[in-house]
């Protein structure tokens, strides 16, 4: 217990500030000094305040419990009565935990159908099950799934093709680690498609890691300065990767596609990738902050659905970081497109892009699209009214105009999606080699895997039926297809080991 007598002898006293917080310091003239008491003196009617006293007053033992006890004992030593102390501590109780919502409380729009195909039926059931768990999160006010929906993690994780609208909350787990995964298209006029693909292969970068010295693009100094001014992005790894990863595409389902417009016959390049290393680290930092809030506000919320309250300083800084990562991702696409234009000596026309893994603010709600394309005209300052939906390497990229459908929360699909996992697809190939499958499924197309061998998990057969997805886009009124970019060829990383496996091997060699 704090010895008030010793504090007074040292020239200190207890006083109460304007905001009601007890302090121990030399008393300024504007505060009322508490009459000094002899060390250890207690009023006969007062008993010593202990941890048991605080528990009886409704305080739950935890991280702040010891500090509250110190404050209570300091107030008692300074001559405050129990009623005053209890009233003071009452205002310092943490808010009550926010419970999960009941199943069925939140409207859930299903813009997907399954035929009698067993894989589709099973996928649909899993999507429904996981989304039903997601929408019990306290912040969620509505949700929807698109025709390309498929599970993307443990039960209760927002699926690919999922959209969640939340009140005053940013959920990092709902935009995932590949923040601002997006597609960009540039019209290259009469350029020869092979010349364009050859030029693109020389300038782009697939696979893990970044570019080596001498092969890097220049990042805008203004953007780098803005990163440094944001407390989430002013991180040594992020700042380094912002330079090294510019002009890189990574691996997995990221691609560089060359084709021709069905409307005009003009050549076009389409790239698909996200924010690479900078975004992955921002996601990790965001999840750490969200987890702290989850433990404090809603421990029963699933960890992957933790949120950062948007009206806090953390929320405002994270929102600003997302907008800067979006700018970086756009610059990443632009670097590859411009270098390809120069390498192919093409005469570029229109260029536009859209993200499909991001958080969008509309009114007072935050819309989380996990593999879902915004389908309203002014979702961003640089929106053109047109967006892109790729399907697979042997199918056209759709150029669409979104219909801002209420039952889809204003979104459309981002691609074709899967009915089963990558590993299951490889298992079903049986004795067929990746080379045989590629030849059979992409006959006449120029398909390249510059960073590794053929990635069989990215073949057209690993995705949902493209025609079915396109029909559902129309039948659910999600978007209007205004053009098709028919494929000439496509580049993807290929079958490269996961980055964490490369790290393990390097560690063993060391």
Picking from 273, 304, 311, the residue whose alpha carbon sits closest to that of residue 286 is 304
If one counts every other C-beta atom within 10 angstroms of the C-beta of residue 132, the result is 16
Query: Is 414 annotated as ligand-binding?
Result: yes
Picking from 254, 270, 240, 269, the residue whose alpha carbon sits closest to that of residue 207 is 254
Query: Is 254 annotated as ligand-binding?
Result: yes
DSSP string, 422-439: HHHHHHHTTT--HHHHHH
**Angle CA 145–147–152, to nearest 5:** 60
- What burial class does residue 403 get, using C-beta atoms within 10 Å of its C-beta: 0-12 exposed, 13-18 middle, 19+ buried? middle
Q: Report d(CA 423, CA 420) in Å as an integer.
A: 8
Residue listed under structure tokens 């004992």: 73
Ramachandran area for residue 309 (φ above 0: left; ψ -120 to 50: alpha; else beta): beta
Beta-sheet strand order (sheet of 365-370): 108-110, 140-150, 160-167, 365-370, 357-362
Distance, CA of 162 to chain centre: 13
Query: CA dist 413 to 146, 366, 377, 403, 476, Å?
Result: 5, 18, 16, 12, 11
Query: Is 489 annotated as ligand-binding?
Result: no
The number of CA neighbours under 13 Å toward the Cβ of 183 is: 28
Q: Which helix (H) or strand (E) covers residue 132, if one does? A: helix 118-134
Query: Is 356 annotated as ligand-binding?
Result: no
Query: Is 272 annotated as ligand-binding?
Result: yes
Q: Which helix (H) or strand (E) covers residue 183, if one does? A: strand 182-187
If one counts every other C-beta atom within 10 angstroms of the C-beta of residue 41, the result is 11
Query: Is 234 annotated as ligand-binding?
Result: no
Query: Is 416 annotated as ligand-binding?
Result: yes
Query: Is 385 annotated as ligand-binding?
Result: no
Q: In this structure, are residues 488 and 194 in contact, taking their beta carbons and an 8 Å threshold?
A: yes
DSSP string, 22-41: EEEEPPPTTSPPPPP--TT-
Tell me what percent of the chain is helix, strand and coil, each rounded to the nearest 5: 35, 20, 45
The residues that are catalytic are 414
Q: Which residues are annotated as a binding site for Mn(2+)?
A: 254, 272
- Binding-site annotation, residues: 254, 272, 390-393, 414-417
Numbered residues of the known binding site for GMP: 390-393, 414-417
């Amino acid at each position: 217990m704090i010895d008030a007598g010793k504090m007074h002898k040292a020239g200190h006293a207890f006083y109460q500030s304007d905001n009601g917080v007890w302090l121990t310091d030399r008393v300024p003239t504007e505060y009322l000094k508490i009459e000094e008491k002899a060390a250890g003196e207690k009023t006969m009617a007062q008993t010593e305040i202990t941890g048991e006293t605080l528990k009886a007053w409704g305080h739950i033992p935890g991280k702040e419990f010891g500090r509250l006890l110190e404050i209570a004992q300091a107030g008692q030593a300074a001559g405050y009565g129990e009623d005053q102390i209890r009233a003071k501590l009452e205002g310092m109780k943490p808010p009550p935990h926010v419970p999960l919502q009941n199943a069925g409380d939140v409207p859930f729009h299903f813009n997907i159908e399954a035929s009698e195909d067993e894989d589709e039926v099973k996928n649909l059931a899993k999507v429904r099950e996981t989304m039903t768990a997601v929408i019990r999160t306290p912040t969620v006010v509505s949700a929807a799934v698109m025709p390309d929906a498929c599970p993307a993690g443990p039960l209760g994780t927002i699926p690919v093709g999922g959209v969640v609208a939340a009140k005053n909350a940013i959920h990092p787990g709902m935009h995932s680690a590949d923040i601002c995964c997006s597609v960009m298209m540039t019209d290259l006029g009469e350029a020869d498609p092979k010349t364009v693909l050859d030029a693109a292969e020389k300038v782009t970068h697939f696979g893990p890691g970044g570019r080596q010295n001498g092969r890097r693009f220049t990042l805008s100094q203004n953007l780098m300065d803005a990163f440094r001014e944001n407390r989430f992005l002013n991180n040594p790894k992020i700042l380094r990767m912002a330079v090294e990863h510019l002009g890189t595409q990574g691996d997995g389902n990221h691609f560089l596609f060359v084709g021709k417009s069905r409307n005009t016959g003009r050549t076009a390049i389409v790239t698909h990738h996200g924010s690479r290393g900078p975004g992955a680290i921002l996601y990790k930092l965001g999840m750490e902050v969200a987890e702290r809030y989850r433990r404090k506000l809603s421990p029963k919320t699933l960890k992957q659905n933790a949120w950062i309250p948007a009206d806090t300083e953390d929320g405002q800084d994270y929102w600003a970081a997302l907008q800067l990562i979006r700018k970086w991702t756009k610059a990443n696409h632009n670097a590859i497109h411009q270098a390809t234009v120069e390498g192919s000596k093409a005469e570029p026309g229109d260029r536009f892009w859209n993200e499909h893994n991001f958080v969008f603010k509309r009114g007072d709600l935050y819309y989380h699209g996990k593999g879902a394309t915004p389908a309203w005209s002014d979702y961003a300052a640089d929106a053109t009214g047109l967006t892109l939906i790729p399907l697979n390497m042997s199918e056209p990229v759709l150029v669409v105009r979104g219909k801002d459908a209420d039952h889809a929360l204003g979104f459309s699909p981002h691609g074709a999606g899967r009915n089963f996992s990558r590993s299951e697809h490889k298992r079903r190939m049986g004795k067929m080699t990746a080379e045989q499958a590629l030849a059979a499924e992409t006959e006449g197309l120029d398909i390249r895997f510059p960073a590794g061998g053929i990635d069989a998990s990215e073949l057209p057969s690993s995705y949902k039926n493209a025609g079915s997805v396109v029909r559902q886009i129309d039948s659910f009124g999600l978007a209007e297809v205004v053009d098709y970019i028919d494929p000439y060829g496509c580049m993807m990383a290929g079958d490269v080991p996961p980055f964490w496996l490369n790290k393990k091997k390097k560690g063993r060699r060391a």
